[in-house]
Amino acid sequence: MSEAAQDGRRLRSDRRRRQILDAATEIVSTLGMSHLSHREVAARAGSSLGLIRYHFDTVDKLAVAVLEDLETQRHAAAMEALASASAAATDDEAAALLLHTYYGADTSRASLVSMLGWLLDAARQPVLAGFLRDQRPRIDEDLVAVLAALGRSRIRVALLRQVIDGAVVAAAAEGIEDTRANVIAAISAAMDLIIEGTS
C-alpha cells in the first residue's frame, strides 16, 4: 500500500474515532457517565458496534478517552482565561475567569450541572476516579496561574475548588436558573475568606 493510501486510511480512522468520541461526550454530557455504553455510542454516532469496539475495546477506555478530551478542552479554556487575566479585574470578573478555568469554556447551567453529574458518576468507577484524581494537579496549576495573573495568589486553591463545586451543587439543587451568575457571586463573596493565613 502506498504512503498516500496509508495516510488516507489513517485520516479516515482518526475521523471515525473523533465521531465516536464526540458521540460519547454528548452522552456523558446529557445523560451522565452511567449511560455510556458501546451500543449507545454506536446508535448516537451512526456507527457499527464493531467499529466502536475496534477503537475502544472497553467502556472504561471509552470513558477515560472522553474525560481526556474534556480535560484538554478545559485546559485550553484555562489558557484563554490566563491570557485575559489582569490584576485590575473586579472580583466578579476574577470569579468568572476562575470558573472558566475550573469548569471550561461552557459555563451555562446545563453544562455546569452535567459536568457535576458525570463527576459524581465517575466517583463510582475506580478507573475514572483515578483519572480525575491524577488530573487534579494540572487543574490546580491552572488555577494558581490564573490567580497569580489576577493578583490574587494568596487565595487557597483547595478552598476555591470547594466553593465553586459547592455553589454549583447548591444552584442545581435549588433549581436556580442562572447557575453561572450564582456561582460567580459565591466565588466573589468568598474570595476574602479563602486567603492563606486567614481562619
Residue 125 is predicted with a pLDDT of: 83
3-state SS class at 193: coil
- pLDDT tens string 69-115: 999 999 999 999 999 999 999 999 999 999 999 999 999 888 888 88
Ranges of H-type helices in 85-156:
91-103, 109-123, 126-149
Burial 112-130, CB ≥16 within 10 A → b, else e: bebbbbbbebbeebeebee
Whether the Cβ atoms of residue 122 and residue 69 lie closer than 8 Å to each other: no
pTM of the model: 0.86
The partner residues of 155 in beta bridges, in order of sequence, read 195
CATH number for 1-57: choose from 3.40.50.11540, 3.40.190.10, 1.10.10.60, 1.10.510.10. Answer: 1.10.10.60
* Of the candidates 79, 113, 117, 78, the residue with the CA atom closest to the CA atom of residue 99: 78
Residue 4's pLDDT band, with cuts at 50, 70 and 90, is low
Question: How do the domains of the chain map onto residue ranges?
Answer: 1-57, 64-199
Residue 8 has pLDDT above 90, yes or no: no
Whether the Cβ atoms of residue 114 and residue 106 lie closer than 8 Å to each other: no
3-state SS class at 32: coil
Q: What is the DSSP letter of 155?
A: B
Which region holds residue 124: left if phi is over 0, alpha if psi is between -120 and 50, else beta?
alpha
Residue 29 is predicted with a pLDDT of: 83
- pLDDT tens string 11-38: 888 899 999 999 999 998 888 888 899 9
What is the average pLDDT across 167-184?
Answer: 93
Residue 2 is predicted with a pLDDT of: 72
